[in-house]
Amino acid sequence: MRILIWHVHGSWTTAFVQGPHTYVVPVTPDRGPDGLGRARTWDWPASVVELPPEDLRTAELDLVVLQRPHEFELARAWLGRTPGRDVPAVYLEHNAPHGNVPDTRHPAADLPGVPVVHVTHFNRLMWDTGSAPATVVEHGIVDPGPLYTGELPHAAVVVNEPLRRGRTTGTDLLPALAAAAPLDVFGMGTAGLAGRLGLDPARCRDHELPQDALHTALARRRLYVHPVRWTSLGLSLLEAMHLGMPVVALATTEVVEAVPEDAGVVSNRIDVLTDAVREFLADPEQARRTGARARSAALARYGLPRFLDGWERLFKEVTR
């Protein structure tokens, strides 16, 4: 198949393009949000090909994957075809709803001929998609391997733009966590985080690393902390589990499904979370055993073969 998909979510798309198809990604001269083209910080196979908008009108396409509300009109303009009518299409929703939850209306609600695909069952439950069929294909991860060493008695956090996103990503919880363990916060827009939170820089270090260096850096930390209150299931959490890291996380959105009881500590009580952080720091062997169970659980539920198989079955259903 030839599948059109915009480069929107690099980590997710990295797993998606590992399938047996040709993946067409729009590219514009400025490589702006609607034309990023191939990834530059992730390893994508040669089956991902770039096409400028002017070439899409004559391109042979078997399926269009929409991910943002304006892509429906963008596809009509660039392809000269209506998704769901002239070419099979699905709307992939990466996020949990914001606003008037649980009454938030999905932008693809009632869109004829375009099923909505969610990445978690929690998201499907919370979005109102109207008459549009809704299904779930859970996340898949390209296995980075069991890189965990845990040699540094620090806790790792991965979050992009923690200051802008604030309570959504649990930025306000970092001071309590930093009192339990030195934090290494990885992600875009983390520079100056300690100063903005009034923390000693030795207790909260920020790091902005390229994707190919992130996994190795994470795996050196004793544990992974996921303080996110409200978002879809973070790929960084699943990647940390794949690395073999024990995890400490808020019991929100899909986390309670993703992290089994023996793979870490999941709670909405801050004292329980900070106690768990201290215990993992003090007991490297317990951290290693818990991380090994986290990796086994992540491979079983979020491994790449299961993910790609789920999409293959959906492709056949949508295009038959």
- In this structure, are strands 22-26 and 48-51 parallel, antiparallel, or unpaired? parallel
Distance CA 280, CA 99 (A): 36
Q: How many domains does the chain have?
A: 2
Report yes or no on 218 lying in a domain.
Answer: yes
The pTM of this model reads 0.94
Residue 158's nearest CA partner among 273, 249, 68 is 249
Handedness of CA 142, 308, 9, 106 (dihedral sign): negative
Q: Report DSSP state, residue 104.
A: P
Residues 94 and 182 in one domain: no
- DSSP annotation of 83 reads B
- 160 & 294 share domain: yes
Which structural domain, as residue segments, surrounds residue 12? Answer: 2-139+304-319
Same domain, 130 and 169: no
Angle made by CA atoms 298, 270, 140, in degrees to the nearest 5:
15
State residue 238's pLDDT score. Answer: 98
Helix (H) or strand (E) holding 50: strand 48-51
Q: pLDDT band at 39, cuts 50/70/90?
A: very high
Q: Give the Cα separation of 127 and 99 in Å (integer).
A: 11
The verdict on residue 147 lying in a domain is no
Residues 162 and 26 in one domain: no
Whether 156 maps to a domain, the answer reads yes
What pLDDT is stored for residue 212 in this prediction?
77
Q: Are residues 283 and 308 in the same domain?
A: no
Helices (H), 283-303: 284-302
118 inside domain = yes
* Residue 144 within a domain: no
- pLDDT digit string (tens) for 205-245? 999 998 779 999 999 999 999 999 998 999 999 999 999 99
Tell me, yes or no, whether 173 and 286 share the same domain.
yes
Domain shared by 177 and 252, yes or no:
yes
Among 10, 5, 7, which Cα is nearest to 160's?
10
Show the tokens assigned to 156.
């790792």
3-state secondary structure of 154: strand
Are 104 and 78 contacting, i.e. CB atoms less than 8 angstroms apart?
A: no
Tokens of 28: 């514009």
Please check whether residues 204 and 223 belong to one and the same domain.
yes
217: closest CA among 170, 154, 162? 154
Q: Is residue 222 part of a domain?
A: yes
Alpha-carbon distances, residue 58 vs 51, 53, 78, 299 (angstroms)? 11, 10, 10, 40
Q: What single letter denotes the amino acid at residue 99?
A: G
Pair (165, 289) in one structural domain: yes
> Are residues 157 and 271 located together in one domain of the fold?
yes
How many residues are listed for the chain in this entry? 320
pLDDT tens digits, one per residue of 121-157 = 999 999 999 999 999 999 999 999 999 999 999 999 9
State whether 284 and 312 are in the same domain.
no
Write down the pLDDT at residue 36. 96
- Do 96 and 218 lie in one domain? The reply is no
